[in-house]
Amino acid sequence: MNIRRTTTTRRAMTAVAITTGLVLAVAGCGGGGDDDKPEKSGSSSSAAEKGKDDEKPKENESPPEDEALAETKDGDLGVTITSARRDGGGFVTVSGTVTNNGSRSWMGADWASDERELRSNGGSLSGSSLVDTGGKKKYLVLRDTSGRCLCTKFNGRVKQGETASWFAQFPAPPEGTTKVTFQVGAMPPAPIEISEGE
């Protein structure tokens, strides 16, 4: 008797499970054909709109990093300044490239500082400065407690026809000051504009 009841109960539960599964399958498949079309056209139209947005030039974009803020030249040596950014820590980072168009290698020794504290930096931007003519102030390159400048050291030489990247950090001028002049070695002064960091 118990075996017969168990078998009947199992058959009934199996029938209920199959019926429930069929009802759910029919409900999931039925009536959804028209609802899918707007979603597909909506996603394709949004993809088309996205494509249009990508083609539009963005007005608020900052200029490319390699666009020159200033260029200066001393004989066969050319300097390009590509960035002058005010950072949150109270300093300005100036960066760019130096290109040797001469017939001999260049070491950067004439860019070194005359300060006793910075003599050990050798060929570097330790002698560079920012000049705020409006505020009548000159900002020397920053250095750490060991007398190492916070700037590029040219380890070795910049060979004929080569270009090397460089950077130098300075104390930041007051917030309202954006126009300064970058000076290094015998290079003519280069007027640059400081941008705000992110």
List pLDDT tens digits, range 91-135. Answer: 999 999 999 999 999 988 889 888 888 888 888 999 999 999 999
* pLDDT given at position 130: 96
pLDDT for 122 equals: 83
pLDDT at position 86 is 94
Residues 8-24: pLDDT tens digits?
555 655 554 555 554 44
pLDDT at 139 over 80: yes
pLDDT of amino acid 15:
52
Lowest mean pLDDT among 59-63, 73-77, 93-97, 174-178: 59-63
Contact 131, 189 (CB under 8 A): yes
Give the confidence band of 85 by pLDDT, cuts at 50, 70, 90: very high
pLDDT value at residue 4: 52
- Residue 175, pLDDT score: 87
Give 52: exposed, middle or buried? Use CB within 10 Å, 0-12, 13-18, 19+: exposed
Least confident of 28-37, 81-90, 160-169: 28-37
How confident is the model at residue 21, as a pLDDT? 52
Which among 127, 126, 188, 123 is positioned nearest to 157, based on CA atoms?
123
* Contact present, 139 and 170 (Cβ < 8 Å): yes
Name the pLDDT band for 151 (thresholds 50, 70, 90). very high
- For residue 134, is it left (φ>0), alpha (ψ between -120 and 50) or beta? alpha
The confidence score (pLDDT) of residue 61 equals 41
Q: How far apart are CA 138 and CA 13, in angstroms?
A: 90
Residue-level pLDDT at 155: 82
What pLDDT, on the 0 to 100 scale, is given for residue 79?
Answer: 94
Q: Residue 9 is encoded by which pair of tokens?
A: 């109960």
* Mean pLDDT value of segment 140-158: 89
**CA distances (Å), 108 to each of 90, 177, 184, in order?**
27, 29, 10
pLDDT at residue 53 in the model: 46
pTM of this prediction? 0.64
* Better-predicted residue by pLDDT, 34 or 88: 88
